[in-house]
Amino acid sequence: MDIRYSANQRDVKRYTTQELRDEFLIQNLYQPDRVAAVYSHVDRMVTLGCMPVHETVSIDKGIDVWASFGTAYFLERREIGIFNIGAPGKIQVDGMVYPMGNKDCLYITRGAKEVLLASDSPEAPAKFYMVSAPAHCSYETRLIRLADAAKRPLGSMETSNKRVINQFIHPDVLPTCQLSMGMTVLEPGSVWNTMPAHTHERRMEIYTYFDIPDGNVVFHLMGEGQETRHIVMHNEEAVISPSWSIHAGAGTSSYTFIWAMGGENQAFDDMDNIDIPDLR
């Protein structure tokens, strides 16, 4: 498991392009029959990816759980959200099987001991994108399909940001300890997300961009509002956003992204907005 330690905003101002990418960008999440994992010391969030092809893959495959978390099993003191961004598959949680279509989401509560990931067909594998946060209590494991997500249409074609925010793991949908996750879909012709930009001092965020057409990229904006930086991101890559950083982006085409948050609260209006003319 790749370990990323916290980076502060003063040092980041001096980072090269490669140093920014090494610190915040997460690549190669979907490798056949493997689990890729990145542990961030920003709120102790873990980002994982798995593409089962010929095997049913345990969520902790290749991870030394005791060395990483000091627990007997992965979710002993954690909760996790899992999206399928690939072809149909299934997730088995302590014997219960959850069919997972494209853009379906599964919330697994703290205390689940066995989590197994599988594709319906090796010719068209599922791709499971996962984010896990520490949890101090347990709720209920639940499958949330795209049709069941709370939907918030935002933006307009005039500002190139017409989009729908689909809230899956969210207080309006189900209770969790601290993890929140959702998926934002931009309409064709729209390219901007999360603009006007903001920070939220009490929460961190992780984005993953996907459904980016071949030959296109997303310019992910980060850094302090008065001294921004960017990371060029390709399809199915993720990026860590500390609480002090803005997290916005513009693509060379439309795209979809999944956001995950953890921290002190789940208050979605608890943010510090930055007016567009004030960005530097």
Question: Is pLDDT at 268 greater than 80 in this prediction?
Answer: no
Instruction: For residue 29, report the phi and psi dihedrals to the nearest 5 degrees.
Output: -75, -25
In this prediction, residue 163 carries a pLDDT of 96
pLDDT one-digit tens code per residue, 42-71: 999 999 999 999 999 999 999 999 999 999
Distance CA 12, CA 245 (A): 10
Is residue 13 exposed (0-12), middle (13-18) or buried (19+ Cβ within 10 Å)?
Answer: exposed
Distance CA 68, CA 1 (A): 8
In this prediction, residue 202 carries a pLDDT of 84
For residues 124-129, give the mean pLDDT.
Answer: 98
Residue 79: C-alpha distances to residues 105, 127, 176 (Å): 13, 19, 8
Of 99-103, 158-162, 218-222, the one with minimum mean pLDDT is: 158-162
Both tokens of 223, joined, read: 């850094």
In this prediction, residue 120 carries a pLDDT of 98
Name the percent of the chain lying above pLDDT 70. Answer: 100
In this prediction, residue 251 carries a pLDDT of 97
In this prediction, residue 263 carries a pLDDT of 82
Both tokens of 260, joined, read: 């995950």
3-state secondary structure of 102: coil
pLDDT one-digit tens code per residue, 81-93: 999 999 999 999 9
Question: pTM for the whole thing?
Answer: 0.96
Q: Smallest Cα–Cα separation from 234: which of 220, 253, 217?
A: 217
In this prediction, residue 240 carries a pLDDT of 97
Residue partners of 267: CB distance under 8 A and separation at least 6 = none
For residues 100-119, give the mean pLDDT.
Answer: 98
Select the more confidently predicted residue: 274 or 52.
Answer: 52
In this prediction, residue 223 carries a pLDDT of 95
Q: Please, what's the b/e burial string for 70-106 (b: 16 or more CB within 10 A of its CB; e: otherwise)?
A: eeebbbebbbbbbbbbbbbbbbebeeeebebeebbbb
In the chain, the amino acid numbered 131 is V
- Residues written for the chain: 280
Question: Is pLDDT at 220 greater than 90 in this prediction?
Answer: yes
Q: Smallest Cα–Cα separation from 80: which of 28, 37, 135?
A: 135
Biggest CA-to-CA distance, the chain? 54
Average pLDDT across the chain, whole number: 95
Residue 182: C-alpha distances to residues 83, 125, 207 (Å): 9, 22, 10
For residues 130-134, give the mean pLDDT.
Answer: 98
For CA atoms 73, 60, 257, 4, the dihedral sign is positive
DSSP alpha helices (H): ranges in the chain? 9-12, 17-24, 65-69
Strands 35-40, 2-4: pairing is parallel
Question: Is pLDDT at 271 greater than 90 in this prediction?
Answer: no
Q: Using an 8 Å Cβ cutoff, are 35 and 63 in contact? A: yes
pLDDT one-digit tens code per residue, 231-266: 999 999 999 999 999 999 999 999 999 999 998 878
In the chain, the amino acid numbered 258 is I
Residue partners of 264: CB distance under 8 A and separation at least 6 = 202, 203
Question: Is pLDDT at 195 greater than 90 in this prediction?
Answer: no
In this prediction, residue 253 carries a pLDDT of 96
In this prediction, residue 158 carries a pLDDT of 93
Distance CA 265, CA 177 (A): 9
pLDDT one-digit tens code per residue, 158-178: 999 999 999 999 999 999 999
Distance CA 265, CA 262 (A): 8
